[in-house]
A and B are shown apart, each in its own frame.
Chain A
Amino acid sequence: GAVVSQHPSWVICKSGTSVKIECRSLDFQATTMFWYRQFPKQSLMLMATSNEGSKATYEQGVEKDKFLINHASLTLSTLTVTSAHPEDSSFYICSYKGFSSSYNSPLHFGNGTRLTVT
């Protein structure tokens, strides 16, 4: 199956700093990707959708200036949490839909990044 590499797997940063999370598709080209966040023992909440070369579309309540998404190529997408605060501490997961996938196809997920802001 499709392989998605997400890095780093965990990060601890100080309040006020920025953190970049990378998500790479290793064996396929991804035109559309989704970023989710997950609080402990809760479900995944969709943050934003982005298409390669276009601006991301953010879900209601997600601050686009705080969570910067760059879908620079068909194999790389980044999420930057700017001016992080303790309430941003969460588990962030990226996922891709494959290049030739119809809407009746699954997403391919990275292994997630555990962000802790102190």
Chain B
Amino acid sequence: SQQGEEDPQALSIQEGENATMNCSYKTSINNLQWYRQNSGRGLVHLILIRSNEREKHSGRLRVTLDTSKKSSSLLITASRAADTASYFCATDFGNTGKLIFGQGTTLQVKP
């Protein structure tokens, strides 16, 4: 089964509002990454948080990691219509470098 589970599955908000997505995983990890996917396209890396980090920021993105709860959250502040996409968390564990993806959250930002 998938390493990561995300919620909500779908999120619809108005432009300017904040969007929060959550991710849970099952095993110990090296890091957790968040990716964005526009419809029918490949994935774009957003942010990586290492297992010894608790919070990380990048522009309007804020990621938290709680290894005791095996969970992470992605916060997008002041959302824009262009943020409309699917967002996936992915966990990197073991020593192969492969990523296991969560189910994803589809975000719609209405102008």
Interface residues in chain A, defined as those with a beta carbon under 8 Å from any beta carbon in chain B:
1, 4, 6, 32, 34, 36, 41-46, 49, 91, 93, 95, 97, 101, 103-112, 114
Contact = CB atoms under 8 A, between A and B. Distances in A.
B97 A43 contact: no
B2 A107 contact: no
A114 B42 CA distance: 11
B82 interface: no
A105 B48 contact: yes
Given A34-B99, A104-B50, A109-B45, 7 more contacts: A4-B42, A32-B97, A44-B43, A44-B88, A49-B96, A104-B48, A112-B41
Counting contact residues on chain B (CB < 8 A from A), the size range is 20 to 34
Interface of B: 2, 30-31, 33, 35, 40-45, 48, 50, 88, 92, 95-104, 106
Given A34-B98, A42-B103, A107 B45 contact: yes
